[in-house]
Structure 1
Amino acid sequence: MTKFEESSVLLNADLGEGATSDSELFKLVDLANIACGGHAGDEHSMRLCCELALEQGVSVGPHPSYPDREGFGRRRPDGPVHNLYGELMRQVDSFLEIAALSNCPVTHLKAHGQLYNDAAFDPVLGELMLKLSLHYGNLKLLVLANSPLEIQALNAGVNILREGFPDRAYWGDGALVERSMPGAVLHDSFQVASQAKAMALGEPISSLDGEWLAFTVDTLCLHGDNPQALANARAVRAMVPRAGNPER
C-alpha cells in the first residue's frame, strides 16, 4: 500500500447554498458544511441537507457567515465585531434546532466566505470563532491550514480540522487569493485533483506569486457553488481514497 493510499484526509463541501449538485455531492464527501441563513439557506434547505446527510452517512456542521445574503457572505460588514457574535449564534442555533428535529448529529463548525478568510488572520475574529466552537460543546472547527488561527485554536484547546482548498489558488503567505483576482478559482478538474493529491501528501504546491507552500491538512474543501463542483468532487474522490469518517 502506498503512502497516498494510506491517506486519511477527509473531503468536505459547503452545501445547502442553492446549487443543483448537492444531492450528488453528498454521495462523495465525508463532511458537509450547511448554510444556515447568513449568506444562503433556509429552514427547508437545512432540513433537506440533514435528510441527505443521514441517507449517505455524512457528518454535518453549521456554516455561518457574515449576514450578507445579497453578497453571498463575501463582504465584511461595518460595525464592531462584538455585534457579530449574537448573529452567528442565531445562525448556528437555527441549524442545530433543525438537525435535532432530524436526529442528525452535528460534529463540526465552519465559517463561510469572507468571515472564514478574515478569522484566519485577524486574531479578534479568530477568537470569536473559537468562542463559538467552545460554546457549542467544542465542535471541531475547520481552519485554514498553516494560518494564525490554527495556532490560536491549538493554544486555546479548541478541536480543529486543518483545511486545504484544492479548487483555490493561494498567496505565498498561505492566504487564499481573493476571488476578484484572475486565477483565484481553479476550474480544471485535473488541476484541482492534482492539487488535492499534493495537499493530502503534504507535498508543496505553487502559489500564485511563485512561492512554494506545503502544509498538513485533515480535510479538503470542495465548493458546492462552483459550476464544476461535481466534476471536481469526482476527480478528487478518485485521487483521495475514502478512509472512513471517525465522526460518523
Structure 2
Amino acid sequence: MDLNSDLSEEVGDDAAMFGIVTSANIACGFHAGGPESMLESAQLAAENRVSVGAHPSYRDREGFGRRDQDVEPDELRADILEQLDALTNAADIADVRIRYLKPHGALYNRIVVDARQADAVARAARDAMLPILGLGGTELHLAADRLGVQFFREAFVDRAYRPDGSLVPRSESGSVITDPDEAATRAVRMVEDGTVVAIDGTLVRVRLDSLCVHGDTPGAVAMAERVRRGLVAAGIELRAFA
C-alpha cells in the first residue's frame, strides 16, 4: 500500500515527512511553493527514494488553493500544464521523474462533481502522459477512463467522510482527524476491510491504491509515523503505487 502526502507547501516539516511516506505530492507554485521549494522537495524525494507526484491547483496563493473558482476548461488545462513544466524543471535537476498528478484543494473537490473541469484536468494529464491520483467514482475518474488516462484511487486517513463517500468540507466541525491513533486505526481498516466509518457512524465502502495524510494537518509528522507503524504492524507492505 502507498502512503502519500501533500508537501512543498511551506507549512510543515517536509524533511521528516519524506522519511515516512512513499509518495509525495509536490506543490507547483499556484497555491504554495516555488522554484526553490520544488527543487528542495525533488532532492528530498531522490534521497529518500520517494515517488514524485505533481500537485497543481487553481491560481490562489492567497487562499492556499482552497477557494472554488469558475475557470474555463481550456484555461485550467493550460494552468495545469504550466505548473507541470515548473515542477519538471526541478525534477530534472534532481534527476527524478514525475510519476503522477494529484490535484489540490478546491480543484480536487470541484472535479469530483464538475465534468467540464474534470475533463480539463484529465486532458492535461494525458498531455503530460501522467496517471492521476484522486477519489474513485468521481467525474475525474470518469473523465480519465474516457480519455484512456490511468487512474489510481486514494483514501484519506485524516479527513472525515460523509455517508455518500465524499469528504466532509473543511469548513464543518469534525472534518479533520487529528488523533494519530484514530488515523492509524482508520488506515488499517481501509486497507484490510475496504471500509471507513463516516461522520454519522455508518460504514462506507472505499477502494484504494493509496492512503493520504496531509502535511499541513496539526501534528502531521507524528500522525504519519503512527499510521506507518500501524500499517507495518498489520503486515501491510508499504510501496509507491507509481
- Tell me if both proteins adopt one fold, taking TM over 0.5 as the criterion: yes
| 1:26 CA drift (Å) | 0.4
**Superposition pairs for residues 33-52 of structure 1, below 5 Å?**
33-52=25-44
What is the CA deviation profile of residues 136-171 of structure 1, one whole-angstrom value per residue up to 9, with x for unaligned ones?
Answer: 01x120011343432432343211210000100011
Give the C-alpha shift of residue 62 in structure 1. 1.2
Counterpart residue number, 1:168: 159
Q: Which residue of 2 aligns with 1:245?
A: 240
Equivalent positions of 1:204-215 (< 5 A) are: 204-215=195-206
Q: Does 1:108 align with 2:100?
A: yes
Aligned to 1:156: 147
Partner of 1:15: 7
Residues 193-208 of structure 1 mapped to structure 2, 5 A cutoff: 193-208=184-199
Q: Do the aligned partners of 1:202 and 1:216 also contact (CA within 8 Å) in 2?
A: no
Choose 54-63 or 203-212, whichever is displaced more: 203-212
Helix, strand or coil: the match of 1:171?
coil
Aligned mates of 1:84, 1:130 — CA distance in 2: 11
Distance 2:167 2:12 in 1: 25
Match of 1:226 in 2: 217
Tell me which amino acid in the other structure corresponds to 1:199: M
CA distance in 2, matches of 1:189, 1:152: 34
Structure 1: which 5+ runs fail to align?
1-8
Q: Which amino acid aligns with 2:162?
A: W
Query: Which of 51, 65, 70 is matched with 2:57 structurally?
Result: 65
Assess if the C-alpha contact under 8 Å between 1:15 and 1:35 holds in 2.
yes
Contact 1:146–1:174, Cα closer than 8 Å, also in 2: no
The one of 115, 118, 136 equivalent to 1:145 is: 136
Q: Residues 20-56 of structure 1: CA distance to partner in whole angstroms, max 9, x if unpaired?
A: 3110110111110000111100100000001100000
2:183 counterpart residue number: 192
Partners of 1:218 and 1:123 lie apart in 2 by 23
SS in 2 for 1:14: strand
CA distance in 2, matches of 1:203, 1:156: 27
RMSD: 1.5
| Number of residue pairs aligned between Structure 1 and Structure 2 | 238
User: How far apart are 1:246 and its partner, in Å?
Assistant: 6.1
Question: Which residue among 88, 108, 116 is the counterpart of 1:124?
Answer: 116
Secondary structure in structure 2 of the residue aligned to 1:100? helix
Q: Which residue of 2 aligns with 1:4?
A: none
Equivalent residue of 1:73, what SS?
Answer: coil
Q: Secondary structure at the match of 1:116?
A: helix
Counterpart of 2:41, as a letter, is: C
Structure 1 segments of 4 or more deviating over 4 A? Answer: none
Q: In structure 2, how many angstroms separate the alpha carbons of the residues matched to 1:116 and 1:218? A: 17
Q: Which amino acid aligns with 1:244?
A: R
User: Letter of the aligned partner of 1:239 in structure 2?
Assistant: G
2:91 is the alignment partner of 1:99: yes
Identity %: 38
Cα separation, 2, equivalents of 1:28 and 1:164 = 17
